[in-house]
């Protein structure tokens, strides 16, 4: 498993691009960041993974 932390909004795009599949978030950013990552994966043509696929 590859992990990363988001400090700036643009970080999520970079982490998704390089294949990071686990991101640490502050509680107040979980929903917004999750939706953003899902949109990035959709644009890249990737299927979102289910939790049991890790």
Strand partners, 23: 4
Confidence of residue 6 (pLDDT cuts 50, 70, 90): low
Categorize the per-residue pLDDT at 7 as very low, low, confident or very high, splitting at 50, 70 and 90.
Answer: low
Burial pattern 6-36, b for ≥16 Cβ within 10 A else e, equals: beeeeebeebbeeebeebeeeeeeeeebeeb
Q: What is the pLDDT at residue 9?
A: 63
Its pTM stands at 0.68
Q: What is the pLDDT of residues 14-28, one digit of tens each?
A: 888 888 878 888 888
24-42 pLDDT, tens digit each:
888 888 888 888 888 888 9
């Amino acid at each position: 498993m590859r992990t990363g932390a988001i400090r700036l909004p643009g970080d999520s795009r970079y982490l998704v691009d390089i294949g990071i599949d686990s991101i640490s978030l502050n509680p107040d950013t979980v929903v917004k960041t999750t939706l953003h990552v899902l949109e990035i994966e959709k644009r890249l043509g990737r299927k979102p993974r289910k939790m049991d696929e890790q």
